[in-house]
Structures are given as structure tokens and as C-alpha cells.
Chain A
Amino acid sequence: MTAAIFNLNHPANTVHWHFFTMSVSNVVVITVMLIVFAVAILAPFPGHRRAKR
């Protein structure tokens, strides 16, 4: 079996902040999701500028 790129043979790392507890991988996914959402809202859609002329 090919070894994983990342060493996964350990318990998940977690982020603790007061009552908030979440695995690092979930925090990363949610952060990336928020960034992609912001880009989806702000990034110009291809061909939109041409349609305005």
C-alpha cells in the first residue's frame, strides 16, 4: 500500500478555544470554503465585461 502523503497514523489534532473544539482538518475545510465563497462573490465572471458594452 502506498504511504499517505501526510502521516495520518495519529489522533486528529484539534483546535481548542473556550467552548469551541474542532479538528484542524475541519477548521481548514471551513476556512477554505469561506475563502472560496468570498472569491465566488467578488471575482468577475468571464465574459461579463464584454456583455456590458
Chain B
Amino acid sequence: MSSVNGKSRSSVNGKTRSWTARARGRAVGALPPEKLLPDSQPAFMSSWIYVFGVLTLTSLIVIIASGSILALKGPGWWHFTGIGHFFNSIHLWAVELFFFFMVIHLWGKYWMAAWRGRRARVWMTGAVAFVVAVPCALTGYVSQQNFDAQWISTQAKDGLNAAGVGSFFNVTNFGQMYSYHVFLLPLAVVAIVTTHILLVRKHGIVPPFELSDRGEPTTREPRLEPELVQDRDPAHAGGPS
């Protein structure tokens, strides 16, 4: 960036015209470093439901790592060598665990009404991540290059044609399905999951329901622990906004 008399040429009346500076300002404003990488969390994060969210992310990392190795080596390797079978199994079982953990996280967040407090986008990105991950996994079944893939793809094309979407893609076309499986859909899943995590960082995790929200008279005062009260303070660093 050039300057005249020590002043930036892109700065007019104190407002920068540089799109990089504006983008940086917006990014830091939305996610300051203490929110992006917090060193404390509210007490109500002490829940196994969040552990399942982290396990889902861990599974996704294993899926991408094992899938990258499979893509590098090719079908002959994953079908006809011992180490190929091993990585093929790692990839399959990481996907099984990914969905297992993600569904438990999704159920938990549904019953916690995780969209409360202007967190609709957090909830929606999580739900959409699940919806996009399903075809990402199913295209893997038809990309195996074996009789199993042929059987599944011929069954699937009948179902998809009956649903009226068969003209958009051809599940018996290995090249097309493989491109969907190793590039387009994983890219979408990773992008949505990244957005989901950044939104969680921005808005914080959803606080628990107040006892008075149950719609029935309470017979005793809510027993809120001091730490919990403090952590519900929106001004608390790393807490919900």
C-alpha cells in the first residue's frame, strides 16, 4: 500500500477504502480473539452433549485424513491389499461414528432448544451439516468400485427416478459420484461445520432453561449456584452473547 506524507492513500476522512482493512475490521469485530479462542466457558457447558459435538469433529478429521489416503492410492489398493483394507475400514467406521455422535449431539441440542437467544443460525448450520453429510456418505457407498456399489447404485437410481430427481445426477456414473464424494460434498460439509463452530464462538452456547419457564408454579426458589449466575452474565468473557 503506497503512502503520501506518511498517510495511507486508501484512508479518506479516517475511513479506510481498503477492502482488506474493512474485512479485517468486521472479522475482528464479530469474533475478537478472546471469543475465537476463549480460555473459559460457562459452567453449563459441563454436559456430555458437547463432548459428542467434539467427537463428531474428531470423526470428521479422521474421515478426511483416511479418505485422502484412499484417494491417493486408488481402488486397486483399497480392495486388494491388507493395508488398503485397513484404511478402508478406518474410513467406514469413522463415518459410522461421525453420524452416531452427530445424531446424539443433534438430539441433545434439539431438546435444549439451542436456537434460543438469537442462535437460530447456530442451530440451522448444525442441522444443515447433517442433511449435507448424508448424501456425502451415500455417494461413498456407490464409489466403492465393487458389486456392492453396483447393487446400491441400481437400487438408488430407481428410488431417485421415482422421486423425480433422476435427471439431475446419475448414481450409476462412478466418475460423477466419486467427484461428489471426494470433492463437492466434503467441501460443503467442511464449510458448513466451520461456519457452525464460528457461530458457536460468536454467540456462545445456549444457557439452560429457567425453572420459571416451565409454565407451572414452582414450590421453591431456583437454586442457582454463584458460578452459574456469574457465567450467565453476557459480559462474562467467552460467555453467551
Chain A residues in 8 Å Cβ range of B48: 39-41, 43, 45
Chain A 35-46 interface mask (CB, 8 Å, partner B; 1/0): 011011101010
| A52 CB within 8 Å of chain B | yes
| Interface-located stretch among B102-110, B134-142, B180-188, B191-199 | B102-110
Q: Which bucket holds chain A's interface residue count?
A: 10 to 19
The chain A residue with its CB closest to the CB of B227 is A51
Let me know if B221 is at the binding interface, CB within 8 A.
no
Whether B108 lies near A37 (C-beta < 8 A) is yes
Q: Which A residue's beta carbon lies closest to that of B85?
A: A1
Please determine whether A51 and B104 come into contact, CB atoms closer than 8 angstroms.
Answer: no
Docked complex Cα distance between A7 and B224 (Å):
54
- Let me know if B49 is at the binding interface, CB within 8 A: yes
Contacts of B46 in A (CB 8 A): 45, 47-48, 51
The reply on A29 being an interface residue by CB < 8 A is: yes
Interchain CA distance A41-B100 in the complex, whole Å: 16
Report the minimal beta-carbon distance from B47 to chain A, rounded to whole angstroms: 6
Partner of B108, one of A29, A40, A48, A51: A40
Tell me whether B52 and A40 are in contact (CB under 8 A): yes
Chain A contacts for B51, CB-based, 8 A: 40
Size category of the B interface is 10 to 19
Question: Which residues of B, 92-119, contact A by the 8 Å Cβ criterion?
Answer: 100, 103-104, 107-108
From known contacts A51-B227, A52-B225, infer whether A36 and B47 are also in contact, taking CB-CB under 8 Å: no
Give the complex CA separation of A47 and B52 in angstroms.
Answer: 17
Q: Is A15 an interface residue (CB 8 A)?
A: no
Residues B227 and A33 in contact, CB atoms below 8 Å apart: no
| Whole-angstrom CA separation of A47 from B108 in the bound complex | 20
With A33-B100, A51-B43, A51-B46 given, is the CB distance from A41 to B108 under 8 Å? yes
Q: Judge whether A33 and B108 touch: CB under 8 Å.
A: no
Residues of B at under 8 Å CB distance from A? Answer: 43, 46-49, 51-52, 100, 103-104, 107-108, 225, 227
Ranked nearest first, the 6 interchain pairs of A and B with the lowest CB-CB distance are: A40-B48, A45-B46, A48-B46, A37-B104, A52-B225, A37-B107
Binding site for B on A (CB under 8 A): 29, 33, 36-37, 39-41, 43, 45, 47-48, 51-52
Can you name 27 A-B pairs with beta carbons within 8 Å? Answer: A29-B100, A33-B100, A33-B103, A37-B104, A37-B107, A37-B108, A39-B48, A40-B47, A40-B48, A40-B49, A40-B51, A40-B52, A40-B104, A40-B108, A41-B48, A41-B49, A41-B108, A43-B48, A45-B46, A45-B47, A45-B48, A47-B46, A51-B43, A51-B46, A51-B227, A52-B225, A52-B227
Q: A45-B46, A51-B43 are in contact. List 13 more A-B contacts (CB 8 A).
A: A33-B100, A33-B104, A39-B48, A40-B104, A40-B108, A41-B49, A41-B108, A43-B48, A45-B47, A45-B48, A47-B46, A51-B227, A52-B225
